[in-house]
Amino acid sequence: MKYFYTFLFLLFTFLLTSCSEQEKPELIMVTNATFPPYEYVQNGRIDGIDPCIIKRIADRLGYQLKIQDMSFDSVIAAVQSGKAHVAASGITVTEERKKQVAFSIPYVIAKQVIIVPENSPIKNSTELKGKRIGVQHGTTGDLYVTEKIQNPERFTHGPLAVAALIAAKLDAVVVDSEPAEVYISQRKNLKILDEPLTYEEYAFAINRKNKELLDKFNRELQSMQKSGELKNIIDEYKSRHSANAADNKVESDTFFGKLGASFRINFIKENRYQYLLKGFFNTIHITFFSLILGIVIGFGVAIVRSTADLTGKMKLADFFCRIYLTVIRGTPVVVQLLIIYFVIFRSIDVDKIFVAIIAFGINSGAYVAEIIRSGIMSIDKGQMEAGRSLGLSYFQTMNQIILPQAFKNVLPALGNEFIVLLKETSVAGYIALDDLTKGGDIIRSQTYDAFLPLAAVALIYLIVVVCLSKLLGLLEKRLNKNE
């Protein structure tokens, strides 16, 4: 009996512990994991200085940390809209950003530096005027160059700007000092100018309404600063990532040797091909279900609009359909995606793939609707009159006589719309979705090689498009045989 009670006590303790673990409140951190050594993807997970600091703070405060990777442009908006609790992406404290979010105490004093080719005539920042300057969009370097020097060329990621510099598309690149040191460690033909462009403070962004969380973060950061723990984390990751960058360096002198070594580093090492594989399946998933949603919406809108044109009925429905078509076709799909995620689903925790399917499906539906409507209107009016004279209703005639002919006529245009939809999903990374393009971005952020990851992404898209075109061609032949 004693053993039985002991067993019950241990079981109760285990269940209580499990429940307490499950009931840990969630702390959502958003970042742009293409900014080593502060944040980057390593072995399938987001790592770096910022994730490490946030993880230790979350553990001490009793939170379960969840990290989401998205475009740098979106991290502040994610915190502001309540989609995330904290943004940590090497974010510089500025007066403009203070109006949108609250900032923790600074944890790093950083600087913006200038990268130029080894043989560049540019010696300091005063010689940048009139030159082709590259920056990462939305960063402090972007803001400083725009305000103090001139309008720069903006790139989504630092590695892309450096790749443009190597290809002689730019004269200089302005980025943060730590990533800059990693970039040039792999390129003998690049250097950093001695003069820093500007100094800045990094801090964590938190929603202005969440003062309790802000106070907790500040208290923990102060404690980590006093104990030296914060400095140890920063020094460790800087040293670790410098070693990784040196390990990724291509040493071969021959073209095929360089290509083989670059292929191994970009895709084989640490199984980096899996980023492309995961992104590919997510892209196909989003495209397939967006296509179905787009067809459903498109057919409905096309029938309403063509009915109003042919019979003069359904005027109110036709009015709303026209508004829908005007708004959707008149705004970029990436803007629609961000509005749906950050505004419409602001207070709802919804799966990002579902959000992407809704956004791309609604966008595609507008174009499918006009394609199908043009097919309906191309059918001779006598077809409708013949169907009605046989005793069929208007919708029976439309369904059994008009739409089959219209579908065959617009099949090439529909196929083209489906191909466009597949490629439009490449902007899904703005809401922290790992699509095919984002997979290439992650690889570039680790290897700083722009060519092979981009070439692989382009090749995969090309193969899928060729396969879709072939299937559509077979379908057209099948329809022609049936006729």
Fill in the amino acid letter for 327. Answer: V
Please choose, from the candidates 171, 175, 161, the residue with its C-alpha nearest in 3D space to the C-alpha of residue 129: 171
* Claim to verify: residue 133 and residue 35 sit in the same structural domain: no
> Out of 55-69, 222-236, 461-475, which region has the weakest mean confidence (pLDDT)?
461-475
Per-residue pLDDT at 56:
95
Residue labelled with tokens 């959000």: 355
Per-residue pLDDT at 223:
94
What is the CATH classification number for the domain harbouring 116? Answer: 3.40.190.10
* Claim to verify: residue 56 and residue 165 sit in the same structural domain: no
ω before 36 within 30° of 0 (cis)? Answer: no
Separation in Å, CA 150 to CA 137, 158, 164, 196, 412: 14, 19, 18, 17, 46
Q: Which domain holds residue 62?
A: 2-102+204-245
**Rounded-to-integer distance, Cα 190 and Cα 435, Å:** 32
DSSP 93: P
Per-residue pLDDT at 167:
81
- Residue 415 predicted with pLDDT over 80: yes
* Claim to verify: residue 394 and residue 455 sit in the same structural domain: yes
Residue labelled with tokens 């410098």: 242
* Claim to verify: residue 335 and residue 364 sit in the same structural domain: yes
* Claim to verify: residue 279 and residue 316 sit in the same structural domain: yes
pLDDT band at 4 (very low <50, low <70, confident <90, very high): very low
Task: Give the residue with greater pLDDT, 208 vs 257.
Answer: 208
Contacts of 355 (CB under 8 A, 6+ apart): 337, 340, 341, 345, 431
pLDDT above 90 covers what percent of the chain? 40
- Residue 411 predicted with pLDDT over 50: yes
pLDDT tens track for 221-278: 999 999 999 999 988 888 776 666 555 555 555 666 777 877 888 888 878 889 999 9
pLDDT band at 220 (very low <50, low <70, confident <90, very high): very high
> Out of 43-57, 110-124, 264-278, which region has the weakest mean confidence (pLDDT)?
264-278
pTM summary value: 0.70
* Claim to verify: residue 91 and residue 173 sit in the same structural domain: no
CA-based radius of gyration for the chain = 28
DSSP structure string for 267-288: IIGGGTHHHHHHHHHHHHHHHH
198-202 vs 205-206, strand pairing mode:
unpaired
Per-residue pLDDT at 387:
81
The mean of the pLDDT values for the chain is 85
* Claim to verify: residue 188 and residue 214 sit in the same structural domain: no
Task: Give the residue with greater pLDDT, 478 vs 282.
Answer: 282
Mean pLDDT of 287-293: 93
Per-residue pLDDT at 11:
46
Polymer length of the chain: 483
> Out of 50-54, 160-164, 304-308, 456-460, which region has the weakest mean confidence (pLDDT)?
160-164
Is 264 domain-assigned? no
**Rounded-to-integer distance, Cα 155 and Cα 164, Å:** 9
* Claim to verify: residue 129 and residue 92 sit in the same structural domain: no
Q: Classify each residue of 54-86 as buried b or exposed e, where b means 16 or more C-beta atoms within 10 Å of its C-beta.
A: bbbbbeebebebebbbbbbebbbbbbbbebbbb
Mean pLDDT of 328-347: 89
**Rounded-to-integer distance, Cα 358 and Cα 106, Å:** 39
* Claim to verify: residue 32 and residue 118 sit in the same structural domain: no
Per-residue pLDDT at 384:
78
Per-residue pLDDT at 452:
86
Of 202, 232, 253, the position where a domain reaches its end is 202
Contacts of 214 (CB under 8 A, 6+ apart): 102, 104, 206
Per-residue pLDDT at 21:
44
Is 268 domain-assigned? no
Task: Give the residue with greater pLDDT, 482 vs 413.
Answer: 413
102-103 vs 153-155, strand pairing mode:
unpaired
Q: What phi, psi does 142 have (nearest 5°)?
A: -60, -50
Mean pLDDT of 447-457: 82
Mean pLDDT of 421-425: 91
Per-residue pLDDT at 159:
77
Is 298 domain-assigned? yes
Is 42 domain-assigned? yes
- Residue 10 predicted with pLDDT over 70: no
Q: What phi, psi does 30 have (nearest 5°)?
A: -115, 145
133-136 vs 172-176, strand pairing mode:
parallel
